[in-house]
Amino acid sequence: MDQQIVNAIFIGSIYALFAVGYTLVFGILDILNLAHSAVFMLGAATTYTLVVKYGQVFWVASVVGIAASALMGLVIEHVCLRPLRRRQAPPIAALISTIGLALIIVAAVEQGKQGSLFSWLWVDGANSVAFPAGTIPNPTWHVADLSLDASKVVIIPVSIALMLVLGYVMRYTQIGRGLRAVAENPRAARLMGLDVDRMITLTLVISSALGGLAGILFGVALGDISPYIGRDNVEVRGLAVIVLGGMGSIPGAVIGGYLLGLVEILAVVTFGSSVRGGVAFAALFLLLILRPQGLFGTRLRERI
């Protein structure tokens, strides 16, 4: 059982890190950025290609991978969100445009084969690949009865540190105050002299960088990188996590991520693998009945 709890913490960390980026955008824009799962995948895919095809060191590759994801945040803002915001389109329009972008990103990577238009980005098509052995040192430590893979252990401090930094920035810095002001009332923020568009762009860049990092960690720890890792593994779960934690709440997303990891693993151990996919939804339903605003939510959102 103990090892299973370790397993739950590992997978929970990835869910949490992914969901933090998700919830950040929602908290500030009241918009669900459904391209976030594609950005998650893009981070992992870019890093993999740089390591395997271009022979880069993992650390360099992952920095570029995160940068590429952050850049995709800019694309999301400029292509999917800003034009709609200008026209005062309802949030559902933005939701749909992000779904569209996600499909485009996944399809582009999926088409990446030797000799194709996207072969500079990805050459494995729909295949699932793993970083070659030895890309990063990955010893296994044995503590008591537990075995801990370095690649998984490192996820926990990285996730927690990043989330703490983000929490600090949001609460105590000028930028954080600006972001919160935009979240509270964009028009008032603009009247106070804040560059709202810049704040929103910043939010998407930070959120996407976190998503990309989560993707890279996922690829390293689980040895599974394909165009579909975002869609299949974190998209719906991430949604469940942020509803669970309270939409827009960063601590909520963190706790929600770990909670979902735990509930999933317990369900697998108790009932078998067939229930795994359904657990996220079951938890979601239960919580929506008992506490519709989520664990850490303060008010009920009207949209979405």
Partner 1 sequence: MNRTRLFGWLVATLLVAACGSTGGGGGGNANSYSGKTIKFGAVLSITGAGGVYGPQSRDGAKLAVKEINASGGVNGAQIELTVEDDASDKAQSQQKAQTLITSNNVLAFLGPTLSNSAVAVHPLAESLKTPVLAVSTTGIHIVPDCKFPETTPCKYVFRDSLGEETAIPANIKAYAADSHPKTGVLLVAQDDKFSSDGGTIVQKTVAQYNIDLLKTIPFSKNDADLSPYVTQAVQLKPDVIFITSLGGIPAKIMTAARNQGWQGQFLGGNGFNTATVSKQAGAAGTGARSASAWYIGNEFASNKDFVTAYKNEYSKDPDQFAAQGYTGLKILADAAKRANLTFTDTAGDRDKLRAAIETVNIQSPLGPFQFTSSHDVKQTVWIIQMDGAGGFKLVHEVKAS
* Nearest approach, Cβ of residue 10 and partner 1 (Å): 7
191 lines the binding site for partner 1 (CB under 8 A): no
Residue 276 interacting with partner 1 (CB under 8 A): yes
Nearer residue to partner 1 within complex by CB, 7 or 119: 7
Part in contact with partner 1 (CB under 8 A); list of ranges 48-56, 158-166, 225-233, 249-257: 225-233
Look at the block and give the residue holding tokens 């970083």. Answer: 131
Chosen residue from 97, 159, 233, 249 binding partner 1 by CB under 8 A: 233
Residues 280-299 close enough to bind partner 1 by CB under 8 A: none
- Please say which residue, 88 or 114, places its beta carbon nearer to partner 1: 114
CB of 8 to partner 1, least distance (A): 8
CA-based radius of gyration for the chain:
19
Choose which of 52, 82, 89, 149 interacts with partner 1 (CB under 8 A): 149
| Distance, CA of 64 to CA of 72 (rounded, Å) | 12
φ/ψ of residue 126, rounded to 5: -85, 0
Tell the smallest beta-carbon distance from residue 141 to partner 1 (Å): 10
State which of residues 87, 115, 133, 143 lies at the interface with partner 1 (CB under 8 A).
133
By the rule CB under 8 A, 7 interacts with partner 1:
yes
Give me the amino acid identity at 79: V
Q: Which tokens sit at 108?
A: 């582009």
For 32, 48, 119, 148, the CA distances from 124, given in Å and listed in that order, are 30, 11, 9, 30
Any contact of residue 272 with partner 1 (CB under 8 A)?
yes
The 35-74 site mask, x for binding partner 1 (CB under 8 A), equals ----------------------------------------
Among 57, 126, 282, 304, the residue binding partner 1 under the rule CB under 8 A is: 126
Binding segment toward partner 1, per CB under 8 A, in 30-38, 48-56, 125-133, 294-302? 125-133
Q: Is 272 left (phi over 0), alpha (psi -120 to 50) or beta?
A: left
Q: Catalogue the long-range contacts made by 190-199 (C-beta closer than 8 Å, 24 or more residues apart).
A: 197/82, 199/28, 199/175
Query: Which positions from 196 to 215 touch partner 1 by CB under 8 A, shown as an x/- string?
Result: --------------------
Taking the complex as a whole, the smallest distance from the CB of residue 280 to partner 1 amounts, in Å, to: 13
Q: Is 154 in the site for partner 1 (CB under 8 A)?
A: no
Selected from 100, 167, 176, 223, the binder of partner 1 by CB under 8 A is 223
What is the contact surface with partner 1 in residues (CB under 8 A)? Answer: 3-4, 7, 10-11, 113, 124-130, 133, 140, 142, 147, 149, 218, 222-224, 229, 232-233, 265, 268-269, 272-274, 276-277
